[in-house]
Amino acid sequence: MTRVLLVDDQALVRSGFSLILSVEDDFEVVGEAGDGARAIELTRALRPDVVLMDVQMPVMDGIEATRRIVAEDLAKVLVLTTFDHDEYVFDGLAAGASGFLLKNSDAEHLVEAVRTVAAGHALLAPQITRRVIEQMVAGERSSAPVVTLRQGAEAAPVANASARPAPEPGNEAALAGVALLTPREREVLELVGTGLSNAEIAATLYLGEATVKTHVSNVLSKLHLRDRVQAVVLAHRVGLV
């Protein structure tokens, strides 16, 4: 059972989210908050698995609330907003959110997003995946993570070795880490960098999905990465993609 806390300054929006999630057998809505400060209090008291966090709220906005919740390792945060603005995406992810989803996403995508984040994965609304990756890799906000959810969007194919971009300056440590990977792990990292899911990587490499999951875990461990969010960034920055 995934425990969910809903945070939005509009009661009607919270009610809608609650209705969508409550009909699922594996979700339990444990509380609601109308501002970021209250969200922190309830997260500490209720210890939900996932917090659905609005951005613009009174008292304390969702970005600051996310930063504090993540800093205390209280829960995973999925940022929800009607605003498709770069600054909200960058600030939310830099604060430690596990993903970013627009409120106009349909119920099916909302449910899948919560399940994805609860499982320890990261996601980003497909409308902004490419833009975020391009700007992050360009170094405009190099301290923030990048994530990708391939729903309704095609991932860029893996480039041939001769066509790959040169790694960015200052990535010597990352390159040294990649050198420690086995050929198969390096191949998996390349495909993670294009935004493929484990199932898609398994189909591409003719491997079992469980085997791919093991390879991904090994890559994250060897490269000291928090999740595949950071793996996407690293794959781009060292020129694998």
Reported as a single tens digit per residue, the pLDDT across 12-42 is 999 999 999 999 999 999 999 999 999 999 9
pLDDT tier for residue 47 given thresholds of 50, 70 and 90 = very high
How do beta strands 76-81 and 27-33 pair? unpaired
- Residues in Cβ contact with 11 at an 8 Å cutoff, skipping those fewer than 6 apart: 34
- More confident site: 33 or 125: 33
Amino acid type, 96? G
Total domain count, the chain:
2
- What DSSP element (H or E) covers 221? helix 209-222
Least confident among 1-5, 49-53, 60-64, 176-180: 176-180
64 token code pair: 């600051």
Write down the pLDDT at residue 129.
Answer: 54
Domain that holds residue 176: 155-237
Both 54 and 119 in one domain: the answer is: yes
Which 3-state string (H, E, C) describes 172-183?
HHHHHHHHCCCH
Render pLDDT for 145-187 as a digit per residue (tens, 0 to 9): 444 333 333 333 333 333 444 444 445 667 788 888 999 999 9
Residue 141 lies in a domain: no
Residue 144 lies in a domain: no
